[in-house]
């Protein structure tokens, strides 16, 4: 990669981290409407997968994937307004971030039952194939979702029809409070792809380059008509399942061990080895992302709430 791409990737990971941290604080201040589900520690996955996707490519992120919105092109101000429940947000103040989408940027809003978006993303991939469009669908989910029926139905259909889709499992080892060994008898979710006739692969979800290499290969295969891929990214969330979850169920030593593998710190080592003045770059980037997020917060705070009568608008899609 060239120096510009290196810095862009660094910016998106730092922006995602700063955005997540600020939202956690705002939630404790009672300014965020709805639940907050931090993806802190998992930034390399959403940045590594979404960086380089086309605007027309379809992604279905989950509740922990704010970075996917940012990398795909959604304005941080609009995203923050969504979290505040303001009229200027993605859903005009009608919903929380959990279900937010931005179809003009190819971002599909999730549902509370996270695996239910896998069949939707699979349907988008089917549309691309039927219309012979050069686009791909990317479906994000957690390891807990891979134990639900809609996960298996989606993968089975995609395997049969060789659809242009990449399934990305963000395996942080806890489905809420249930550890992986108590919800499945396999070590790697990626092995489940074999039952549906396509490739499954495992990579470190805390290594940006590993994620990008794995994702880019899968996306290229999908564009070339070679069918789906299931990618499993091994990672860890630093916070609980949500901001109201105190994760007493996991050992402190485990958290410390994973924090020592922080994806941003790991990428900073790469940048320094490549010859960047890391201290200067880090200072500049910290200032840039703080200014961006502060501007987003100000925009959200100053934006109006929707009026009551607007609840009756946007109930149906406009006729084609």
> pLDDT digit of tens for each residue in the chain (320 aa)?
799 999 999 999 999 999 999 999 999 999 998 888 889 999 999 999 999 899 999 999 999 999 999 999 999 999 999 999 999 999 999 888 888 899 999 999 888 888 899 999 999 999 999 999 999 999 999 999 999 999 999 999 999 999 999 999 999 989 989 989 999 999 999 999 999 999 999 999 999 999 999 999 999 999 999 999 999 999 999 988 888 888 889 999 988 998 999 999 999 999 999 999 999 999 999 999 999 999 999 999 999 999 989 888 888 888 87
* Residue 317 included in any domain: no
CB neighbour list of residue 134: distance below 8 Å, 6 or more residues apart: 128, 223
Strand order through the sheet with 199-204 = 58-60, 137-142, 165-171, 229-234, 199-204
Q: How many domains does the chain have?
A: 1
Question: How much is the pLDDT for 314?
Answer: 86
Distance CA 202, CA 210 (A): 10
Look at residues 300, 188, 309, 242 and name the one whose alpha carbon lies nearest to residue 36. 242
* Residue 319 domain-assigned (yes or no): no
320 in a structural domain: no
Question: What is the pLDDT at residue 1?
Answer: 78
Residue 73, in any domain of the structure: yes
> Is the CA virtual torsion 46, 49, 55, 60 positive or negative?
negative
Query: Would you state the pLDDT for residue 96?
Result: 84
CATH number at residue 45: 3.40.50.970
Structural domain contains residue 223: yes
Domain that holds residue 169: 3-305
CA angle 294, 297, 303 (to 5 degrees): 140
Cα angle 67-206-116, degrees, rounded to a multiple of 5:
55
100 in a domain, yes or no? yes
In a domain, 156, yes or no: yes
């Amino acid at each position: 990669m060239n120096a510009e791409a290196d810095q862009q990737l660094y910016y998106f990971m730092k922006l995602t981290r700063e955005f997540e941290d600020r939202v956690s604080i705002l939630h404790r201040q009672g300014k965020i409407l709805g639940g907050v589900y931090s993806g802190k520690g998992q930034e390399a996955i959403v940045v590594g997968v979404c960086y380089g996707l086309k605007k027309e490519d379809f992604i279905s992120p989950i509740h922990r994937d704010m970075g996917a919105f940012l990398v795909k092109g959604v304005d941080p101000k609009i995203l923050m307004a969504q979290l505040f429940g303001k009229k200027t947000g993605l859903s005009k103040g009608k919903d929380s971030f959990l279900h937010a989408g931005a179809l003009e940027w190819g971002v599909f809003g999730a549902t509370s039952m996270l695996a239910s978006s896998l069949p939707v993303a699979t349907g988008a991939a089917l549309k691309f194939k039927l219309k012979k469009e050069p686009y791909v669908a990317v479906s994000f989910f957690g390891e807990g979702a891979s134990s639900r029926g809609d996960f298996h139905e989606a993968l089975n259909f995609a395997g049969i029809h060789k659809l242009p889709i990449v399934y990305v499992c963000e395996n942080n080892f806890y489905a809420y409070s249930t550890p992986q060994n108590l919800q499945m008898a396999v070590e790697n979710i990626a092995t489940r792809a074999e039952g549906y006739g396509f490739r499954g692969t495992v990579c470190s979800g805390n290594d940006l380059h590993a994620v990008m290499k794995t994702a880019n290969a899968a996306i290229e295969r999908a564009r070339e008509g070679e069918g789906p891929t299931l990618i499993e990214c091994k990672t860890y969330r630093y916070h609980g399942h949500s901001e109201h979850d105190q994760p007493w169920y996991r050992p402190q030593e485990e958290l410390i061990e994973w924090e020592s593998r922080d994806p941003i710190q790991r990428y900073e080592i790469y940048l320094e080895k490549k010859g960047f003045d890391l201290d200067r770059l880090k200072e500049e980037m910290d200032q840039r992302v703080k200014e961006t997020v502060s501007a987003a917060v100000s925009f959200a705070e100053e934006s109006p709430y929707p009026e009551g009568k607007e609840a009756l608008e946007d109930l149906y899609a406009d006729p084609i």
